[in-house]
Structure 1
Amino acid sequence: MSEEAVQPQFALQRIYLKDASFEVPGAPRVFLQNWSPEVSIDLATSTAALDEGKHFEVTLALTVTARNEGQTAFLIEVKQAGIFQIEGVPETELGPLLGAYCPNLLFPYAREAVSDIVSKGSFPQLLLQPVNFDAVYAESLRQQQGEQEASA
């Protein structure tokens, strides 16, 4: 009896909005001002193994802050998550899969959630630009290596 190598498997099980919040600290006065906002976006990803390394939850967290005339016009926090079944993937490929590929799949859903929330808040439409999650993942690896070298 020969053991056959396990074929790599990847399946998206579910995508869901895990958390969302929207604040308009200057309402209603913010709606009476000329609208020329400065928008900043912070993003982060996190991963959690759900069962013996077969299912993983990947969460993409976006924080969008719009400032108008020096004041915060609105603040949105969205956590878009997904459950992914991953089996037979070599350890060297698991990091990029969870850190870049999965967040790339989640981003359009997070982008839509942000756009809907902004519109429902009575602000002009906001469409977030695409994100290169491969570059974001590579940068996070560089930062981790730098921290490890600094602590050594």
Structure 2
Amino acid sequence: MTDQANTAAANETDTAPQFSLQRIYVRDLSFEAPKSPAIFRQAWEPSVALDLNTRQKGLEGDFHEVVLTLSVTVKNGDEVAFIAEVQQAGIFLIANLDDASMSHTLGAFCPNILFPYAREALDSLVTRGSFPALMLAPVNFDALYAQELQRMQDSGETPAPSLQ
């Protein structure tokens, strides 16, 4: 009886959903201030443009790499003050999810985990360039994910397996 209970428990564990963060790391980091040092002598009236992207790649077994890219271009008037970009990545163990749950996990849940790290890396990079701190507002990746699914549905595109 005990062997049967142990076998049943082991089988249930084998099919239960699994999620585990394995590693968070900076994949790429860049900073450019093309008008330095002259830009520091001007009145500071910045405009900020943020470009945000995610991509995911299956690794061996149930491991997945998710990369969140944040690119920021800050202009002072008509001149580019600086361009900063970070690719914040993570390796996640994700198993036993249906396609829709896997897609949502890779497309929204994992980027939500990575965003605070990317935000801090960008802020640190910008302040090291001697510019004022860049505190990006939180991003709702669930809403962005839902918008992308709706856009694909409206245009008749078939979602990729990672966006179903």
TM class, shorter-chain normalised?
over 0.9
What is the TM-score when the length of structure 1 is the normalising length? 0.92
| Distance in 1 between residues matched to 2:81 and 2:87, nearest whole Å | 20
What residue identity is the alignment partner of 1:96?
H
Structure 1 unaligned segments of length 5 or more: list them.
Answer: none
What residue identity is the alignment partner of 2:150?
R
1:142 counterpart = 2:142: no
Partner of 2:28: 19
What residue identity is the alignment partner of 1:74?
F
Q: Give a deviation string over 1:17-59, Cα, whole Å, max 9, x none.
A: 000110111111111100110011110000000013x000000
* Equivalent in 75, 90, 94 of residue 98 of structure 2: 90
What residue identity is the alignment partner of 1:138?
A
Which structure's CA Rg is the greater one? Answer: 2
Partner of 2:74: 66
Provide the identity percentage. 49
What is the TM-score when the length of structure 2 is the normalising length? 0.86
Which has a greater percent of helix? 2
* Equivalent in 96, 109, 112 of residue 101 of structure 1: 109
| Distance in 2 between residues matched to 1:13 and 1:148, nearest whole Å | 36
Number of equivalences: 148
Moved more, 88-97 or 100-109: 88-97
Two-structure CA RMSD over aligned residues (Å): 1.5
Q: Give a deviation string over 1:107-138, Cα, whole Å, max 9, x none.
A: 00000000000100000111110000001111
Per the TM alignment, residue 82 of structure 1 is displaced from its structure 2 partner at its CA by 0.1
| Distance in 2 between residues matched to 1:95 and 1:62, nearest whole Å | 21
Per the TM alignment, residue 89 of structure 1 is displaced from its structure 2 partner at its CA by 1.2
* Equivalent in 121, 124, 133 of residue 125 of structure 1: 133
Equivalent residue of 1:76, what SS?
A: strand
* Equivalent in 10, 14, 17 of residue 19 of structure 2: 10
